[in-house]
Amino acid sequence: MQYENSYPVKGGDFKEAGKVAVLVKMALKKMGVAPEILRRAAIAAYESEVNIISYARMGTIRLQVRDDHIRIDVEDEGPGIEDIELAMRPGYSTATELIRELGFGAGMGLVNIKSCSDEFEITSEVNQGTKLRILFRIPETG
Amino acid sequence: MTLFDVMDILDAKLLVGRKLLNTKVDTAFSADLLSDVLAYARPGSVLLTGLTNPQVVRTASVLDIAAIVIVRGKIPPAETLRLAEELEIPIMATHYILFESSGRLYRHGIVGCIQKVGADEIVAL
């Protein structure tokens, strides 16, 4: 199993939020990824997408599928995160009213991504952007 | 129970998904925060919410939610309904408030798709 795709996300494009997540889900479903893993990957994609739209100028969500894992790399050009530890705290949010109207911005995004992944790495540079490396292991079957 | 029963109990109007009304459901999740829905809702559950934007439908699709119940008499915009048709997610609308809708379903045997969020996940700010 080998699949790669890259999805661009535009900052501020609130109407489109969730589109990439649905595409990621459909791609994984088509490849026959187990529903439980597929679900977690799509949730991570959704939260990542909302983060880019909410805070960055633009970004990319890259999906890689291999026999034993799914990897999602998120990269954005934006303000970056000054205090990652604080940003990872459940409930901490710098969301605007627009984001909250959409039903997001509850300060659970990064927490959700981390808790549904098998490996999670976040790096950020202020005034440059944020990178996420999210990994989901696919257990051997049979 | 089936989605048809849900519709009946909540005196709800079906907006999308007539063909899927025989789907069986026994759990639900109620929230107006999509981040919480993404974190805690389980596949095959009914999602009760006051949100009407297309993001609700995308969230439901990602999570394999059985149906969306829009509460407080709100009617979703056309783009939300179009998307629900495209992604095959049933949507119904009820005039009951979120608490009342949840309670009526619970009384008929529908339970929360999770009961509690683990103690270690609640962190004092």
In this prediction, residue A117 carries a pLDDT of 97
Cβ contact (<8 Å) for A18 and B123? no
> Strands A58-65, A69-77: parallel, antiparallel or unpaired by DSSP?
antiparallel
Domain count for chain A: 1
In this prediction, residue A107 carries a pLDDT of 87
Which residue is associated with the tokens 């597929």?
Answer: A38
Check pLDDT > 50 for residue A129: yes
pLDDT digits (tens, 9 = 90+) for B22-53: 999 999 999 999 989 998 999 999 999 999 99
- Residue A103's domain comprises 3-137
CATH superfamily, domain B3-115, is: HprK N-terminal domain-like (3.40.1390.20)
| Mean pLDDT, residues A2-17 taken together | 95
CATH number at residue A103: 3.30.565.10
Residue A104: list chain B partners with CB under 8 A.
33-35, 55
Burial degree of A1 (CB within 10 A; 0-12, 13-18, 19+): exposed
pLDDT of chain B along its 125 residues, tens only? 999 999 999 999 999 999 999 999 999 999 999 989 998 999 999 999 999 999 999 999 999 999 999 999 999 999 999 999 999 999 999 999 999 999 999 999 999 999 988 765 555 54
**Assembly ipTM:** 0.90
Please give the Cα distance from B20 to B22 (Å, whole number): 6
What does each C-alpha distance from A137 to A142, B101, B105 come to in angstroms?
16, 38, 37
pLDDT digits (tens, 9 = 90+) for A16-62: 999 999 999 999 999 999 999 999 999 999 999 999 999 999 999 99
Residue A142 lies in a domain: no
The DSSP H or E segment spanning A87 is helix A84-87
Judged by phi (left if over 0) then psi (alpha if -120 to 50, else beta), residue A7 lies in: beta
Which residue is associated with the tokens 């490396």?
Answer: A133
Percent of chain A's residues with pLDDT above 90: 87
Check pLDDT > 80 for residue A142: no
Cβ contact (<8 Å) for B35 and A108? yes
Cβ contact (<8 Å) for B35 and A25? no
> Strands B111-112, A119-125: parallel, antiparallel or unpaired by DSSP?
unpaired
Which residue is associated with the tokens 């934007």?
Answer: B53
Q: Which of B37, B55, B71, B83 to mutate to test the interface with A (most CBs of A within 10 A)?
A: B55
Residue A25: list chain B partners with CB under 8 A.
61-62
Q: State chain A's mean pLDDT as an integer.
A: 94
